[in-house]
Amino acid sequence: MAFTLLAAYPLSTVANDSLDQVIAMISEKVEVDAPILKTQSQEIVTAEKMENNNGEANTKEVKEISVEDFMRNPGELDYELSPDGEYISFSSAWENRMNVYVQKMHGDGEPVRVSSSKDRDVAASFWKDNHILYLKDEGGDENFHLYSSSFNGQEERDLTPFPNVKVQLISRLSGIPNEILIGLNKADPTVFDVYKLNVKTGDMKLVAKNSGSIVSWLADHDGKIRIAIETDGVDSTVLYRATEEDDFKPFLQTNKSDEISPIAFSKDNQSIYALTNKGRDKMELVVFDLDAKEKLLYANPQVDVEDALYDKKKDALLATTYVTDKLHYVFFDKELENIFNYLKDELQVSESELILDDHNEDMTKFIVLVTSDKEFGTYYYYDSITKELTKLTELAPWLDRNAMADMQPISYTSRDGLTIHGYLTLPKNKKPEQLPLIVNPHGGPWARDTWGFNQEVQLLANRGYAVLQVNFRSSTGYGKAFTDAGNKQWGLKIQDDITDGVQWAIDQGIADPDRIGIYGASFGGYATLAGITFTPDLYAAAVDYVGVSNIFTLLDTIPPYWKTVRNDFYKRVGHPIDDKELLEAISPVFHVDKIKTPLFVAQGANDPRVNQAESDQIVEALQKRGVDVEYMLKENEGHGFRNEENRIEFYRAMIDFFDKNLK
């Protein structure tokens, strides 16, 4: 459930100048796995083939699962090993909020809760030496603060106690005791300066001042900031300096849609591993020397390389990932590949279902996650020396895996000849004929849908709906030409791709043309509103979740720390002055006279990305016309509902709304 206006596939640890990384709350940990190069199926899936895949002989009614069971907190998740591998941390519910717990890996000790948040879920947590650090905002404002906690939870401390300031993790500084590098926008709300923070004392020291256009930083293995990426929102420059006393100088130049995403320095700090599409269409894995000479390490001809895992002790990249219809892996390290294959065989899963979620510094102990389209997730602990494999927990064990529906990769050709990939989930044990269908455009739009467990999709399928997810043009992962094909196409060719997907499902006989719904969040919410505005006869019901109705007000209210990439918005969406007619033509709020589809709108009052005014405008305009519109506003939420009770209330209302209008 990605609600970001600028979302991305969540495997990335690289710092880059793409929009999704600029607004990243925290560098995600690497989730690396698997070997063989596979290609995405281009096959058109027919209703007949779907029927065969979906069990034509079994028409037994699937038991209805409650909204609460789908949407309540799933149990213990986000496991992470301490650096020495002796302890684990994880998130679990306390007082109806996700909090952080610590437990000794071996022995009979009970887990100890180390955070005490009652108002808001802890958003993320990680280890630094023997300290647990975690992130939390207030009411969805996304001004995340960094907290530390002792093992017994008696000494919680806000390490960044500054109002209206957001923290970013830049480096954990492996091997450097007690210190990490963070970014803060406390001096200037539009940019992040780099500080060295002592997590034990709370002392903080400025180590790199932002010139006003730097969007990401990279430290070397001595903890020195040596790489910075500056941008005007369109063209970017990778800056380099030999020492922190030197001035930054241009190292590599990009333009238009080029990206260079540094991953790590080599151990001698003389080479830089990176992902880049400079001079090519797809993101590829390369290494640069200090003269900016490039050596190719891995490329996939069909899709972008997504990520890579660097091991400091071996001073080498161990593996890389890419996503076609599913997640795949290429290993450069035989030892890690053997570990992965052993686990795959022991757990009897495919490569795309297995994630090496975390590891200790020696790469001998691992947290393993097994997940799929029908499996929410099961965590395991694995010691590669002793071969000990221990089940830690199963997420949402109350969900019957046998009642979950298959997510099938599909593709079709758009009206102007582009191949569009996506996923179709059919309700289990129902013939794929004349079904009510919900098309679910993803957020971003510079993001993509991926194969895996999706609570929203499974909930809808459990209620008898087919669900279509479309990686329309502007989606990431398929190369920059495909992403750029969506520039200034909000409500136009992007919307055509979504419409063409719906028509494909109708033409296959899968979808009932009189029972088509549309639901999306963030950009998906915009696509929902655009769908019922510009193709008003296609949809019988629509749900807009934190979506954009007026692109002028969206551009006028973006968070201050998006200032450095404002020009990229203008390039990809449109300029409020130069493209005034375009933005008026594609903003649904100016065309409410065309809307006749029943609409349900949900919004968080503290949303910093898509302000409350976006929903207020469209609701007020429609109510004046007497159009049927329901509005759910939550005062303690932001860009999507995180609090469990709000989440359950929203999805219960959404199901009731679709059932009323589509069944």
User: Is position 159 within any domain?
Assistant: no
User: CA 393: distance to chain centroid?
Assistant: 23
pLDDT of the residue at 56 = 47
Burial of 522 (0-12, 13-18, 19+ CB in 10 A): buried
Question: How far are the Cα atoms of 358, 360, 501 from residue 83, in angstroms, in the given order?
Answer: 10, 5, 47
548 DSSP assignment: -
User: Is position 478 within any domain?
Assistant: yes
Given a contact cutoff of 8 angstroms between Cβ atoms, the answer to whether 41 and 409 are in contact is: yes
C-alpha–C-alpha distance, residues 513 and 437, integer Å = 9
Please, what's the b/e burial string for 625-648 (b: 16 or more CB within 10 A of its CB; e: otherwise)?
A: eebebebbebebbbbbbbbbebbb
* Mean pLDDT, residues 341-369 taken together: 96
Given a contact cutoff of 8 angstroms between Cβ atoms, the answer to whether 354 and 343 are in contact is: yes
User: Is position 151 within any domain?
Assistant: no
pLDDT of the residue at 115 = 95
Given CA atoms 31, 34, 36, 40 in this order, what sign does their dihedral have?
A: negative
Residue 579 token pair: 């493209």
User: Is position 231 within any domain?
Assistant: no
Given a contact cutoff of 8 angstroms between Cβ atoms, the answer to whether 465 and 438 are in contact is: yes
Q: Which of 497, 591, 607, 615 is catalytic?
A: 607
C-alpha–C-alpha distance, residues 134 and 113, integer Å = 13
* Cross-strand bridge partners of residue 542: 518, 599
Q: What is the pLDDT of residues 130-172, one digit of tens each?
A: 899 999 999 999 999 999 997 666 778 999 999 999 999 999 9
Residue type at 59 in one-letter notation = T
Q: What is the pLDDT of residues 171-215, one digit of tens each?
A: 999 999 999 999 999 999 999 999 999 999 999 999 999 999 999
421 is catalytic: no
522 is catalytic: yes
Nearest C-alpha neighbor of 504 from the set 600, 635, 414, 586 = 414
* Mean pLDDT, the chain, integer: 91
Q: Is the pLDDT of residue 16 over 70?
A: no
Q: What is the pLDDT of residues 219-237, one digit of tens each?
A: 999 999 999 999 999 999 9
User: Is position 627 within any domain?
Assistant: yes
CATH number at residue 457: 3.40.50.1820
pLDDT of the residue at 597 = 96
User: Is position 636 within any domain?
Assistant: yes
H or E segment and range at residue 69: helix 67-71
User: CA 152: distance to chain centroid?
Assistant: 32
pLDDT of the residue at 39 = 27
pLDDT of the residue at 426 = 98
Nearest C-alpha neighbor of 429 from the set 447, 403, 450 = 403
CB-based contacts of 195, cutoff 8 Å, min separation 6: 181, 182, 183, 184, 204, 205, 206, 207
637 DSSP assignment: -
User: Is position 39 within any domain?
Assistant: no
**Rounded to 10 degrees, what is the CA torsion of 12, 1, 430, 66?**
140
* Cross-strand bridge partners of residue 99: 92
CB-based contacts of 122, cutoff 8 Å, min separation 6: 91, 97, 98, 99, 100, 115, 134, 135, 136
Given a contact cutoff of 8 angstroms between Cβ atoms, the answer to whether 639 and 608 are in contact is: yes
H or E segment and range at residue 54: helix 47-54
Q: Which of 522, 549, 587, 615 is catalytic?
A: 522
C-alpha–C-alpha distance, residues 280 and 304, integer Å = 11
357 is catalytic: no
* Mean pLDDT, residues 614-641 taken together: 95
Structure confidence at residue 24 as a pLDDT band (50, 70, 90): very low
Question: What are the φ and ψ backbone dihedral angles of 242, each rounded to 5 degrees?
Answer: -75, -35
Strands (DSSP E) found in 340-387? 354-359, 365-370, 378-383
C-alpha–C-alpha distance, residues 46 and 506, integer Å = 11
Q: What percent of the chain has pLDDT over 90?
A: 86
C-alpha–C-alpha distance, residues 496 and 661, integer Å = 24
Q: What is the pLDDT of residues 265-322, one digit of tens each?
A: 999 999 999 999 999 999 999 999 999 999 999 999 999 999 999 999 999 999 999 9
**Rounded to 10 degrees, what is the CA torsion of 547, 3, 405, 63?**
-80
Q: Which of 145, 221, 442, 639 is catalytic?
A: 639
Q: What is the pLDDT of residues 536-590, one digit of tens each?
A: 999 999 999 999 999 999 999 999 999 999 999 999 999 999 999 999 999 999 9
Nearest C-alpha neighbor of 470 from the set 445, 449, 490, 493 = 449
H or E segment and range at residue 105: none
Alpha helices in 367-477 (DSSP H): 455-462
Q: What is the pLDDT of residues 471-516, one digit of tens each?
A: 999 999 999 999 999 999 999 999 999 999 999 999 999 999 999 9
Structure confidence at residue 255 as a pLDDT band (50, 70, 90): confident
Structure confidence at residue 627 as a pLDDT band (50, 70, 90): confident
Given a contact cutoff of 8 angstroms between Cβ atoms, the answer to whether 425 and 435 are in contact is: no
Bridge pairing between strands 466-471 and 435-439: parallel
Number of structural domains, the chain?
1
Q: Is the pLDDT of residue 46 over 60?
A: no
* Mean pLDDT, residues 412-423 taken together: 98
Please, what's the b/e burial string for 531-540 (b: 16 or more CB within 10 A of its CB; e: otherwise)?
A: bbbbbeebbb
Q: Is the pLDDT of residue 99 over 80?
A: yes
C-alpha–C-alpha distance, residues 92 and 100, integer Å = 6
User: Is position 254 within any domain?
Assistant: no
Q: Is the pLDDT of residue 625 over 60?
A: yes
pLDDT of the residue at 153 = 64
pLDDT of the residue at 156 = 86
pLDDT of the residue at 256 = 84
* Domain span including residue 441: 408-662
* Mean pLDDT, residues 436-454 taken together: 98
Give residue for tokens 């053997």: 338
pTM higher than 0.85, yes or no? Answer: yes
**What totals of helices (H) and strands (E) does the chain contain, helices first?**
13, 35
